[in-house]
Amino acid sequence: MFSPATIAIPERVGIADISRPTAQRCFEASIREWAATSETTFVVVGTVRGTTTIFSTRDPKRVKINVPTHYIAMVYRAKPTPMAIGVMVPNNAGHLDVRQFITSVHDLEQKTDYRFQLPQAVAENTPDLAKWPTRILDHEFFNKDIDVQCPHAPLS
Sequence spans of domains, the chain: 15-131
Q: What is the pTM (predicted TM-score) of this model? A: 0.72
Q: Check whether 81 has a pLDDT greater than 60.
A: yes
Phi-psi sector, 62: left (phi>0), alpha (psi -120 to 50), beta = left
Arithmetic mean of pLDDT over the chain? 77
Measured CA to CA, the distance from residue 45 to residue 105 in angstroms comes to 13
Q: Check whether 85 has a pLDDT greater than 70.
A: yes
Predicted confidence at residue 84, as pLDDT, reads: 95
Greater model confidence, 2 or 144: 144
**CB-side neighbour CA atoms (13 Å) of 51:** 0
CATH 3.40.570.10 corresponds to the domain 15-131: yes
Q: Check whether 145 has a pLDDT greater than 50.
A: yes
Predicted confidence at residue 23, as pLDDT, reads: 63
Give the model confidence (pLDDT) of 17-55 as tens digits: 334 445 667 778 888 888 888 888 899 988 898 888 888
Measured CA to CA, the distance from residue 83 to residue 28 in angstroms comes to 18
Predicted confidence at residue 17, as pLDDT, reads: 38
| Counts of helices then strands in the chain (DSSP H, E) | 5, 6
